[in-house]
């Protein structure tokens, strides 16, 4: 669009100003492409217009960009026009919350902050409502969502800390904690992928990620979608609930969804370390007449509360905690806990302070002496924010458990603990939770004993199969079902399975209620396999079959390997050659050859090479958008049932891709 047309469209600018804006745009468009990306525009406009990051960000949201989200000259002039006649949304963000902010990096170094790091802050994409709540989203109340400002700030700090120095994104850090820049930087998937690997190492093979470099100069929407496919599917694979978020939501920077995903990833990393294999001294928390198996059924949050109360009891303190909100918000229990963990440096003097905010600051000063001042601020402590308090306590446990080492006799008890079926149980737990069963499955064998979860799963996988008037529901008061009612449910679950041609010879409901592991795994496996087969219904119809069999899956996989020009093949899902991961990579290559770089594929002659191939195969499958529940060890150990789920998911993905 030439200068004359621009001036007609934006009469508030004289011809000289239009020339200046055009020159400014050309200076940003260094490659002379005729457009620039949003991030470049925001950063440059911050300086030229002397506006905070989030004000410019909001103004750009008000510009009607096309689906590519590229900013052309006309869009840039429109942006400047909107900034110079600001909307109410921009004005409210320029004012920002009245409470104090964390210092930016520039301030810490004694420099004046840039406009985007203004100490008074802005609330990017939303309006502060006081009390740390921010509205984000659309212009109408129905399209708006609320996020917690304390959580945004603390999770941003966490990302800055754990990803500092990263080879791919370290140059972008630290993100300001008082703007929404972190959310914008999540859109290409790299920050979230790195965060997943920090929380659960080795989840993603980072060689598969699309990154700017020699091969790709700038990531486009397709590259970002592939990265975010990996993020979404990997998050599922580590146990995050991602029912309501997709790749497009991340690319479109839906802040409330991204913040929720970030919390789940951080939470998974913190609580995943509360494991008796990592901390055998957790044995100390067993109560009288409680078995190790009973203890390990507890959710990680309950184990944390048990740990907290263990120390309060040893400190002869009169209070206990049953939550991470109201029971900790006055700071008293934290004071006693920290004193019990390190009495020589953490005193109980905060108990003498009446002002709750001052006491909270003193509590966090004590935590700082243990290098554990993380996730909480005085305000979020006093507010009783359950997420941030949980994160604070989990980090404290992971750093200073304060439990006596176990004896050799106790160590033998832990080593003898029966872990039969734990690998399959982990995958089946993730799958059941992906169906959104309620309550969430935590302890697989225990949570299935009363049949209510199984019946919900049947109803999701085979709609209409459950007549709910025949089912016994859990009491509203939270108590367990009486045994005879639980057995009625599990008998009903077995009956439904038989009606749907499951092989359940010798299985009775009482076996499920009694926690018989092999039989429980067998039933759930057949239900999961039914779910896989259901997704392949159209393919079965084309093949003239009622449903896809294991033999059909093997034939499909062999055919896909051959299609990619490879000679590898298997006879069954128990074939030992599956263990080196190469066949699965050949199948993926047949689906889309550009996804498998054979320079990355090892020979698979030793355990390390086989593991690397398996991890690579899982990440490539997720890049295609496949939902993969297993982990590399499952492939290396040729766990046939779990490999069936891998191939079944690839078949479903191939159907969507039209392969």
Question: So where are the chain's domains?
Answer: 3-95, 144-271, 280-415, 422-535, 537-657
Q: What is the mean pLDDT of residues 454-474?
A: 95
pLDDT tens for each residue of 105-130: 333 333 333 333 333 333 334 444 33
Whole-number pLDDT of residue 344: 97
- The overall longest dimension of the chain from CA atoms, in Å, is 87
Fold of 3-95: Recoverin; domain 1 (1.10.238)
pLDDT tens for each residue of 42-75: 999 999 999 999 999 989 989 998 878 889 999 9
pLDDT tens for each residue of 324-349: 999 999 999 999 999 999 999 999 99
How many helices (H) and strands (E) the chain has is answered by: 32, 3
Whole-number pLDDT of residue 478: 78
On whether the 280-415 domain is CATH 2.60.120.10, my answer is no
Whole-number pLDDT of residue 567: 95
DSSP 415-427: HT---TTHHHHHH
Taking each helix axis as running N to C, give the angle between helix 88-95 and helix 53-61, from 0 to 180 degrees, rounded to the nearest 10.
Answer: 160
d(CA 586, CA 12): 61
406 or 378, greater pLDDT:
378
Range with lowest mean pLDDT among 80-94, 139-153, 589-603: 139-153
pLDDT tens for each residue of 620-634: 999 999 999 999 999
Whole-number pLDDT of residue 108: 32
**C-alpha 44 chain-centroid distance:** 32
- For the structural domain made of 537-657, what CATH number should be given? 1.10.418.10
Fold of 422-535: Actin-binding Protein, T-fimbrin; domain 1 (1.10.418)
Over 80: is that where the pLDDT of 495 sits?
Answer: yes
Q: What is the mean pLDDT of residues 409-424?
A: 68
Inter-CA distances, 650 with 570, 571, 589, 654, Å: 16, 18, 12, 6
573, 640 contact by CB (below 8 A): yes
Q: Of all residues in the chain, what percent carry a pLDDT higher than 90?
A: 71
629, 642 contact by CB (below 8 A): yes
State the burial class of residue 575 (Cβ atoms within 10 Å of its Cβ: 0-12, 13-18, 19+).
middle
d(CA 411, CA 421): 21
197, 203 contact by CB (below 8 A): yes
150, 135 contact by CB (below 8 A): no
Whole-number pLDDT of residue 94: 67
CB atoms within 10 A of CB 169: 19
Pick from 79, 176, 184, 93: which is nearest to 135 by CA?
93
pLDDT tens for each residue of 539-554: 888 888 888 999 999 9
Q: What is the bridge-based pairing of β-strands 126-128 and 144-148?
A: unpaired
Over 70: is that where the pLDDT of 415 sits?
Answer: no
423 or 583, greater pLDDT:
583
Same fold, 3-95 and 280-415: no
Whole-number pLDDT of residue 112: 36
What does the H/E/C string look like for 177-191? CCCCHHHHHCCCCHH
| Terminal Cα distance for the chain, rounded | 42
Beta bridge partners of 145: 136
Beta bridge partners of 134: 128, 147
Highest CATH level, class, for 144-271: mainly alpha
CB atoms within 10 A of CB 347: 16
pLDDT tens for each residue of 643-658: 999 999 999 999 998 8
Beta bridge partners of 126: 136
Whole-number pLDDT of residue 316: 97
Range with lowest mean pLDDT among 369-373, 539-543, 547-551, 599-603: 539-543
Over 50: is that where the pLDDT of 223 sits?
Answer: yes
pLDDT tens for each residue of 84-107: 988 887 777 766 543 333 333 333
Pick from 616, 614, 620: which is nearest to 643 by CA?
614
């Amino acid at each position: 669009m030439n200068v004359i047309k621009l001036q007609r469209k934006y009469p508030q600018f004289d011809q000289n100003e239009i020339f200046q804006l055009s020159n400014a745009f050309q200076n940003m468009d260094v490659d002379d492409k005729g457009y620039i990306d949003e991030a470049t525009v925001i950063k440059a406009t911050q300086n030229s217009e002397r506006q905070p990051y989030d004000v410019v960000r909001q103004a750009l949201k008000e510009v009607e960009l096309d689906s590519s989200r590229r900013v052309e000259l006309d869009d840039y002039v429109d942006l400047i026009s909107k900034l110079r006649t600001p909307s109410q949304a921009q004005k409210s963000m320029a004012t920002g919350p009245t409470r104090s902010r964390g210092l930016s990096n520039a301030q810490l170094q004694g420099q004046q902050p840039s406009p985007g790091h203004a100490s008074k802050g802005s609330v990017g994409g939303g309006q502060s409502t006081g009390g740390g709540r921010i509205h984000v989203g659309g212009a109408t109340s129905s399209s708006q969502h609320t996020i917690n400002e304390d959580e945004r700030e603390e999770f941003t700090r966490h990302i800055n800390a754990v990803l500092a120095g990263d080879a791919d994104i370290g140059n972008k850090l630290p993100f300001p904690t008082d703007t929404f820049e972190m959310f914008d930087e999540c859109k290409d998937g790299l920050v979230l992928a790195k965060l997943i690997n920090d929380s659960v190492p080795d989840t993603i093979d980072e060689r598969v990620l699309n990154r700017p470099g020699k091969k790709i100069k700038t990531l486009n929407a397709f590259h970002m979608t592939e990265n975010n496919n990996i993020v979404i599917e990997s998050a599922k694979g580590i146990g995050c609930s991602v029912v309501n978020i997709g790749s497009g939501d991340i690319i479109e920077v839906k802040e409330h969804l991204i913040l929720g995903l970030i919390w789940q990833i951080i939470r998974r990393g913190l609580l995943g370390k509360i494991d008796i294999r990592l901390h055998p001294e957790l044995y100390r928390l067993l109560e009288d007449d409680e078995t190790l198996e009973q203890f390990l059924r507890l959710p990680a949050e309950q184990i944390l509360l048990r740990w907290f109360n263990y120390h309060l009891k040893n400190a002869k303190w009169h209070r206990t905690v049953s939550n991470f909100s109201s029971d900790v918000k006055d700071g008293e229990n934290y004071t006693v806990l920290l004193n019990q963990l390190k009495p020589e440096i953490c005193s109980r003097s905060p108990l003498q302070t009446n002002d709750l905010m001052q006491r909270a600051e003193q509590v966090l000063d004590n935590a700082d002496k243990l290098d554990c001042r993380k996730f909480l601020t005085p305000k979020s402590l006093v507010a009783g924010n359950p997420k941030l308090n949980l994160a604070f306590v989990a980090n404290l446990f992971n750093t200073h458990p304060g439990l006596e080492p176990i004896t050799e006799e106790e160590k033998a008890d832990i080593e003898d603990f029966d872990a039969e079926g734990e690998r399959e149980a982990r995958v089946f737990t993730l799958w059941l939770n992906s169906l959104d069963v309620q309550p969430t499955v935590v302890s697989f064998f225990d949570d299935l004993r009363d049949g209510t979860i199984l019946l919900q799963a049947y109803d999701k996988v085979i709609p209409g199969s459950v007549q709910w008037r025949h089912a016994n529901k859990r009491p509203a008061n939270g108590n367990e079902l009486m045994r005879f009612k639980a057995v009625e449910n599990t008998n009903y679950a077995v009956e439904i399975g038989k009606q749907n041609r499951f092989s359940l010879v010798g299985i009775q409901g009482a076996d499920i209620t009694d926690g018989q592991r092999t039989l429980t795994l067998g039933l759930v496996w057949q239900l999961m396999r039914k779910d896989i087969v259901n997704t392949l219904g159209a393919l079965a119809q084309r093949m003239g079959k009622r449903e896809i069999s294991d033999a059909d899956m093997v034939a499909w996989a062999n055919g896909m390997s051959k299609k990619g020009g490879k000679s590898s093949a298997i006879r069954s899902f128990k074939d030992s050659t599956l263990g080196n991961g190469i066949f699965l990579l050949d199948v993926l290559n047949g689906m889309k050859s550009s996804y498998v770089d054979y320079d990355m594929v090892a020979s698979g002659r030793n355990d390390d090479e086989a593991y690397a191939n398996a991890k690579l195969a899982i990440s490539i499958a997720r890049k295609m958008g496949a939902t993969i529940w297993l982990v590399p060890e499952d492939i290396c150990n040729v766990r046939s049932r779990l490999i069936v789920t891998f191939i079944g998911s690839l078949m479903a993905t191939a159907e969507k891709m039209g392969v």
